[in-house]
Amino acid sequence: MAVEVILPKVDMDMATGQISRWFFKEGDAVRQGDVLFEIETDKASMEIDAPASGILRNITSKEGVDIPVGHAVAWIYAEGEDTGVAARPAAEAKADKPESSSAESSSQDRSAQAAPAVRDMPVQAGAVRATPLARRLAREAGLDLSGVFGSGPQGRVVKADVEATIAGGGAKAAAPTTATAAPAAAPAAKPMSDDAVLKLFEEGSYELIPHDNMRKTIARRLVEAKSTVPHFYLTVDCELDALLGLRKQLNDAAPVRKTEKGEEPAYKLSVNDLIIKALALALKEVPDANVSWTEGAMVKHAHADVGVAVSIPGGLITPIVRRAEEKSLSSISNEMKDLAARARTRKLKPEEYQGGTTAVSNLGMFGIRDFAAVINPPHATILAIGAGEQRAVVKDGEVKVATVMSVTLSTDHRAVDGALGAELIGAFKRLVENPMGLVI
């Protein structure tokens, strides 16, 4: 019995995916666990294993094409199993099929009457797990597979299930709900149409680069965040000299270890590593700000899972340092280096960038003095880090020079009020300016 290969849902927001590469071709022998194909989700590339051993047949999905989650992309047949009937188009099969059993004849008679209705149902039926033969029989009988009980592995509908449903008079033609439901979906509001935008520029003075899935996801989520989350912003200046001094001491004291590249320090802390720790400890001090908004309740988190925005070709991704309040600075540093490296090659697992309770976005290395970041739901806060620079400050009535960094906290006002946000960013500032608290 053929085993269906479907496009799996590997990302919380994933509705469609693209196969970026097939590792086998039609007719190849595969073993269970072989990497069958690679899919490109909105934020990562993932390898999908073959669910069974056998011969790969009926590949229905090409590389680089959007495919709905749950859609069958191929089947794996056992050695010697007949694949011809399922692989051929239905019209061809009917033209040369000799008269056979009464059941087959009955199915063909019904197909002549039900053909128009069948063409309306693939969207709904595509999400049902079924063998190719069961799909063909259901299609010919005008049977909606979603109403058939599947007795096969993992609820897969097999030939016997379809025949039993037909015999029991339980067949029902696919309801044309998709055709009538479509107009109800309102198109997304657009400030300007594509044509209106392009008319503003001289023809031939530009090129059009199609959006990939990551860019589409970033655009959709940012529009959702800015249009549905009521943002407000709090900015403070933090003196960095003490933190920079501590960072130097800790890096100088790092033990040396032997690696394939020779001896190197066991860790090398960045300013960002200390900021991650400071934000996590600030959330521990102000737990009411470590929350997520839902319409039903406030989600109060037990740990500070800090996402860190990482720029990658074509967009950005936010890998998460979980339980950052419990981890040492060296652990955070090494974990962050690993996450960032794998993020740039799109090798992160979904659980490594989904969720989190807050985030850090640092543009200081680009010389940006201050900015306000957009909240990434379900986070209630995000901290935007500007560049550390020498500025004139007044201390005890005298003008002195200090290294100062501006940070801006973006806050979801539904979950965190102004005073609570001020308490959180105040705790962060205190930890940055008195950094010994980060190592105790």
- What pLDDT, in 10s, does the model give residues 251-310? 999 999 888 878 889 999 999 999 999 999 999 999 999 999 999 999 999 999 999 999
Residue 289's nearest CA partner among 297, 277, 301 is 301
Question: Dihedrals φ, ψ of 39, to 5°?
Answer: -115, 150
* Alpha carbons 43 and 225: distance in angstroms, whole number: 18
- Say what the pLDDT of residue 114 is: 36
Residue 131 scores a pLDDT above 80: no
Asked if residue 121 has pLDDT above 70, the reply is no
Give the β-pairing of 45-49 and 72-77: unpaired
Which residues on adjacent β-strands are paired with residue 410? 233, 382
| pLDDT level of residue 215 (50, 70, 90 thresholds) | confident
Q: Is the pLDDT of residue 27 over 90?
A: no
Distance between CA atoms of residues 256 and 234, nearest Å: 41
Q: Which residue has the higher pLDDT, 316 or 43?
A: 316
* Alpha helix stretches (DSSP H) within 88-200: 90-96, 102-118, 122-125, 132-141, 159-167, 177-181, 194-198
Query: CA Rg, the chain, in Å?
Result: 29
Which pTM does this prediction carry?
0.64
Above pLDDT 70, what percent of the chain? Answer: 80
Superfamily of domain 230-438: Chloramphenicol acetyltransferase-like domain (3.30.559.10)
Tell me: pLDDT of 113 over 50.
no
Range in 12-26, 171-185, 368-382 with the lowest mean pLDDT: 171-185
- Told to judge if 413 belongs to the known catalytic residues of this protein, a careful annotator would answer yes
Question: What does the alpha-carbon distance between residue 156 and residue 145 come to, in Å, rounded to a whole number?
Answer: 10
Residues 6+ apart with CB under 8 A from 94: 108, 111
Pairing mode, strands 306-308 and 310-312: unpaired
CA-to-CA separations, 236 to 196, 405, 406, in angstroms, rounded: 41, 8, 6
Q: Comparing 36-45, 267-276, 346-355, which segment has the lowest mean pLDDT? A: 36-45
Highest mean pLDDT among 60-74, 81-95, 123-137, 139-153: 60-74
Instruction: Tell me the two tokens of residue 235.
Output: 């900015």
In angstroms, the CA 388 to CA 156 distance is 59
Are 126 and 70 contacting, i.e. CB atoms less than 8 angstroms apart?
Answer: yes
pLDDT(178) > 80: no
Domain boundaries in the chain? Answer: 3-77, 230-438
Q: Report the alpha-carbon distance of residue 143 to residue 138 in Å, rounded.
A: 5
CA distances from 349 to 339, 340, 352, 353 (A): 10, 12, 5, 7
Highest mean pLDDT among 137-151, 160-174, 242-256: 242-256
Examine the pLDDT at 167 and tell me if it is beyond 70: yes
CB atoms within 10 A of CB 95: 9
3-class DSSP state of 237: strand
Could you say which architecture CATH assigns to the domain 3-77? Beta Barrel (2.40)
Side-chain half-sphere exposure of 246, counting CA atoms within 13 A? 19
Summarised one tens digit per residue, pLDDT across range 386-404 is: 999 999 999 999 999 999 9
